[in-house]
């Protein structure tokens, strides 16, 4: 498999003898072999820092180096980057080195001085191995096996996309075939099971109640209806199909019994909203919108019952498809856009509602449905819905006791602004909190020579990839660079305010090797710690 220039495998050279490394770098036609030298480090500590930046495919390292030897480096690299290939070259032809290299699954063990032809052969084998790895990841049989394992998740994603209206009518059959879904029916509808009093994502027991309701719904559907259940926006959604319209028409009474049974089972009111019957799967998004609207009427008709949109809302006022799209767009702009776009979406929806001759009651129900989605967005991001929407009583009073559309417009825009501000702050706070905790950890543990990305990520409970991205975005530096800068600042402080010797300052700032501390200090300030102290004392 040939790779383009942009797809060359990255190589990191590590050797304290720069002349030897440069000879290797210049004598080999790396690109012709399918590689590029992404960086050069003088020792293992520098190599770890470079590896965070460059994500090398192969590390070519000497064994005997100051501050961190090649075997220790190899061990750390294998922990942090399991797919990284290691090639060791050394002038020490000793069995113990070779034995440990084998235990570390080192690809090649070469002796200095490195023979160019031998190195070329070694990297030719490496490239073949890396290429095979890529081929295996693209292997049809392997992909088919992974596809079958992923099928339940793909099917759930399909039904989610269906109720969101993200699948074009012309592609529905294609997805049904590919995802092995049998929706053999002539009539379809969606129902929403709402659990009152459950705060989505805030409590483990609440999540167990949602899971319990889905399990009960699966049992209830078996033998009665063909269909699927799924989680969507913190609620359980039923998608049901049948060959006869009459069977779906009788669904309300059956679900009404289910709601009372489920309420007794979990101890929380379970209300079912039932949408319109449609004649093809693409109409499920409209049915779902109707089901969501029906659930909103529980404020008027009560909980623990089934509410059919055809019964609680006159046919001529039922939600047109554009309302679902409008709510989706408003929520999207709250999450990703600015307030001007949010208000523009609200104005567009209100204009279409009024142009269609909708009553104030229709507008009220639209706002209630939107508020339901806002509450779900709050719960998903650990925001108290009361902080955005007010209490349930306040919300009902604000929406249903107002006869002024202009007043309701202002309230809706104000509410969406609060939602947007709180959502953005929540996203920023999450990243800021992680970085802030990392900075405090550095302040408290910078004198620990073992601190690194792996230790900080274990402490914070996040992945190294996510942490590195967030940390660099917030601080403009990699974590290792920030840690080095912080240690150097403390070192300067100790040099100028104490009479501690260099080895003592090295230990106090997290450097187990005094010589490496002096090396890093000189690289940073252009002179040794002793010379720096003497220079500053003259001033």
User: How many helices (H) and strands (E) would you count in the chain?
Assistant: 26, 10
**Mean pLDDT in the chain?**
82
290 within a domain of the structure (yes/no): yes
Whether residues 159 and 292 fall in one domain: yes
Q: What percent of the chain has pLDDT over 70?
A: 88
Whether 4 has a pLDDT exceeding 70, the answer reads: no
At 96 the pLDDT is 63
- Residues 191, 248: Cα–Cα separation, whole Å: 11
* 434 located within any domain: no
528: in domain: yes
> Is residue 316 over pLDDT 60?
no
Domain with residue 456: its CATH number is: 1.10.10.60
Report the distance separating Cα 262 and Cα 34, nearest Å: 62
Determine contact, residues 262/213, Cβ cutoff 8 Å: yes
Are 233 and 263 in the same domain?
yes
Report the DSSP pairing between strands 108-111 and 85-90. Answer: parallel
* CATH value at residue 66: 3.40.50.2300
Higher pLDDT, 537 or 530: 530
| Cα–Cα distance, 470 to 220 (Å, whole number) | 46
CA–CA distance, 110 with 108 (Å, rounded to integer): 6
Q: What is the mean pLDDT of residues 62-70?
A: 85
Under DSSP, the state recorded for 16 is S
Distances, alpha carbon 222 to alpha carbons 106, 215, 226, 240, 429, in Å: 55, 11, 8, 11, 45
pLDDT at 125 over 80: yes
| pLDDT at 6 > cutoff 50 | no
Q: Which residue has the higher pLDDT, 415 or 134?
A: 415
Phi, psi of 260 (to 5 degrees): -65, -40
Assess whether 12 and 124 both reside in one domain: yes
Does any domain span residue 437?
Answer: no
Predicted local confidence at residue 317, as pLDDT: 46
Q: What is the pLDDT of residues 462-493, one digit of tens each?
A: 787 778 888 888 888 888 889 999 999 999 99
Domain co-membership, 264 together with 349: no
Helix (H) or strand (E) holding 279: none
For 347, phi and psi rounded to 5 degrees? -60, -40
- Pairing label, strands 58-62, 85-90: parallel
> Where do we find the tokens 């449905």?
369
End position of a domain, from candidates 137, 162, 197:
137
The two three-digit tokens of residue 465, written as one number: 């990839």
- Residue 143 in any domain: the answer is no
pLDDT exceeds cutoff 80 at 161: yes
Query: How far is CA 54 from its chain centroid?
Result: 22
- Measured CA to CA in angstroms, residue 449 lies from 138, 184, 526 at distances of 42, 64, 23
Q: What is the rounded average pLDDT of the residues 152-170? A: 85
The pLDDT, as a whole number, for residue 214 is 92
Within 250-314, residue ranges assigned H as helices are 251-266, 284-296, 298-301, 309-312
Same domain, 190 and 251: yes
Q: Which two tokens stand for residue 262?
A: 């489920």
Domain end call among 273, 291, 312: 312
**Domain contains 144:** no
Which pLDDT does position 196 carry in this prediction?
82
Q: What is the mean pLDDT of residues 436-464?
A: 87
28-34: average pLDDT: 90
Q: For 36-49, b where at least 16 C-beta lie within 10 A, e where not — what string?
A: ebbbbbbbbbbbbb
pLDDT of residue 97: 65
- Residue 3: its pLDDT value, please? 45
CA-to-CA distance for 488 and 493, rounded, in angstroms?
9
Lowest mean pLDDT among 16-30, 153-167, 422-436, 455-469: 422-436
Tell me what the mean pLDDT of segment 198-224 comes to. Answer: 79
- Predicted local distance difference test score (pLDDT) of residue 510: 93
Q: What is the pLDDT of residue 216?
A: 93
- In this prediction the pTM is 0.46
Sequence-distant (6+) residues with CB within 8 A of 197 are 268, 269
Tens-digit pLDDT profile for residues 77-96: 888 888 889 988 877 665 56
Give the pLDDT score at 397.
74
Q: Which domain holds residue 32?
A: 5-137
Res 322: pLDDT:
55
pLDDT for 153: 87
**CB within 8 Å of 383: residues ≥ 6 apart:** 377, 422, 423, 426
CATH number at residue 214: 3.30.70.270
CA dist., res. 529 & res. 317, Å (int): 80
pLDDT tens by residue, 264-313:
988 889 999 998 888 888 888 888 988 888 887 777 777 888 888 887 76
Q: Answer for the pair 188, 285: CB distance below 8 angstroms, yes or no.
A: no
Residue 245 reports pLDDT greater than 80: no
Same domain, 358 and 408: yes
Considering the domain architecture, whether residues 418 and 482 belong to the same structural domain is answered as no
Calpha distance 374→394 (Å, rounded): 15
How far CA 72 is from CA of 43, 52, 105, 138, in Å, comes to 11, 16, 13, 33
**Range scoring the smallest mean pLDDT among 147-151, 170-174, 359-363, 498-502:** 359-363
- Quick one: DSSP state of residue 225? -
Q: Tell me the two tokens of residue 343.
A: 């208000």
d(Cα 295, Cα 306) in Å, to the nearest integer? 8
Number of domains in the chain: 4
The SS3 of residue 191 is strand
Q: Residues 84, 130: one domain?
A: yes
> Does residue 438 sit within a domain?
no
d(CA 508, CA 99): 35
Which are the contacts of 250, defined by CB distance < 8 A and separation ≥ 6? none
Identify whether 236 is part of a domain: yes
Give yes or no: residues 346 and 415 share one domain. Answer: yes
Do residue 32 and residue 97 come from a single domain? yes
The answer to whether 301 and 312 are in contact (CB under 8 A) is: yes
pLDDT at 91: 72
Task: Report the pLDDT averaged over residues 201-210.
Answer: 70
Residues 240 and 122 in one domain: no
How confident is the model over 390-411, as a mean pLDDT?
76
pLDDT in tens, 343-390: 888 888 888 776 655 566 677 777 888 888 888 888 777 788 888 888
Question: Are 257 and 300 contained in the same domain?
Answer: yes
Res. 162 pLDDT band, cuts 50 70 90: confident
State the DSSP string of 116-159: HHHHHHHHHHHHHHHHHHHHHHT-HHHHHHHHHHHHHHHHHHHH
pLDDT, position 92: 63
Give the pLDDT score at 538.
Answer: 77
pLDDT value at residue 460:
85
Instruction: For strands 306-308 and 235-242, give the pairing.
Output: unpaired
- Where does residue 105 rank: exposed (0-12), middle (13-18), buried (19+ CB within 10 A)? exposed
Question: What is the share, in percent, of the chain residues with pLDDT greater than 90?
Answer: 19
- Residues counted in the chain: 539
Spatial strand order of the sheet with 85-90 comes to: 35-41, 9-14, 58-62, 85-90, 108-111
Maximum CA pair distance of the chain? 97
């Amino acid at each position: 498999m040939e790779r383009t220039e942009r797809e060359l495998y990255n190589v990191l050279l590590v050797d304290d003898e720069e002349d030897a490394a440069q000879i290797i770098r210049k004598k080999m036609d790396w690109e012709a072999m399918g590689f590029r030298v992404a960086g050069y480090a003088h020792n293992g500590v520098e190599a770890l820092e470079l590896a965070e930046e460059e994500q090398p495919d192969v590390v070519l390292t000497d064994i005997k180096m100051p501050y961190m030897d090649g075997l220790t480096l190899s061990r750390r690299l294998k922990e942090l980057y399991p797919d990284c290939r290691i090639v060791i070259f050394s002038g020490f032809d000793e069995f113990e080195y070779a034995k440990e290299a084998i235990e570390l699954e080192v690809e090649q063990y070469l002796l200095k001085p490195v023979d160019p032809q031998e190195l070329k052969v070694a990297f030719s084998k490496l490239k073949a191995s890396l290429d095979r790895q890529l081929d295996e990841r693209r292997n049809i049989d392997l992909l088919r096996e992974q596809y079958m394992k992923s099928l339940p998740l793909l099917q759930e994603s399909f039904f989610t996309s269906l109720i969101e209206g993200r699948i074009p009518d012309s592609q529905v059959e294609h997805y049904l075939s590919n995802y092995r879904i049998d929706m053999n029916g002539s009539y379809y509808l969606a129902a929403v099971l709402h659990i009152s009093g459950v705060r989505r994502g805030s409590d483990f027991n609440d999540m167990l109640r949602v899971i319990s309701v889905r399990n009960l719904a699966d049992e209830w559907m078996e033998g009665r209806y063909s269909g699927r259940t799924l989680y969507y926006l913190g609620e359980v959604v039923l998608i049901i199909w049948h060959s006869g319209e009459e069977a779906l028409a009788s669904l309300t009474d059956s679900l009404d019994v289910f709601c009372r049974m489920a309420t007794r089972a979990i101890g929380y009111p379970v209300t079912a909203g039932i949408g319109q019957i449609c004649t093809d799967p693409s109409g499920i998004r409209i049915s779902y919108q109707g089901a969501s609207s029906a659930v909103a009427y529980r404020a008027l008709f009560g909980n623990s019952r089934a509410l059919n949109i055809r019964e609680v809302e006159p046919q001529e006022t039922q939600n047109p498809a554009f309302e679902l799209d409008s709510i989706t767009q408003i929520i999207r702009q709250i999450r990703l856009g600015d307030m001007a776009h949010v208000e523009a979406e609200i104005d567009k929806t209100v204009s279409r509602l009024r142009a269609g001759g909708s009553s104030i009651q229709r507008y009220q129900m639209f706002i209630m449905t939107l508020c339901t989605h806002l509450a779900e967005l709050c719960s998903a991001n650990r925001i108290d819905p009361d902080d955005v929407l007010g209490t349930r009583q306040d919300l009902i009073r604000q929406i249903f006791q107002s006869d002024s559309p202009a007043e309701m417009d202002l309230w809706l825009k104000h509410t969406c602004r609060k939602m947007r501000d709180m959502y953005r702050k929540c996203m920023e706070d999450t990243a800021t909190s992680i970085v802030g905790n990392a900075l405090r950890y550095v302040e408290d543990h910078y004198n620990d020579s073992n601190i690194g990305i792996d230790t900080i990520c274990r402490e914070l409970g996040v992945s190294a990839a996510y942490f590195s991205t967030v940390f660099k975005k917030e601080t403009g530096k990699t974590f290792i660079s920030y840690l080095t800068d912080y240690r150097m600042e403390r070192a300067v402080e100790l040099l100028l305010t104490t009479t501690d010797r260099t080895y003592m300052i090295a230990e106090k700032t997290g450097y187990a090797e005094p010589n490496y501390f002096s090396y890093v200090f000189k690289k940073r300030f252009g002179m040794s710690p002793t010379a720096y102290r003497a220079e500053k004392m003259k001033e």
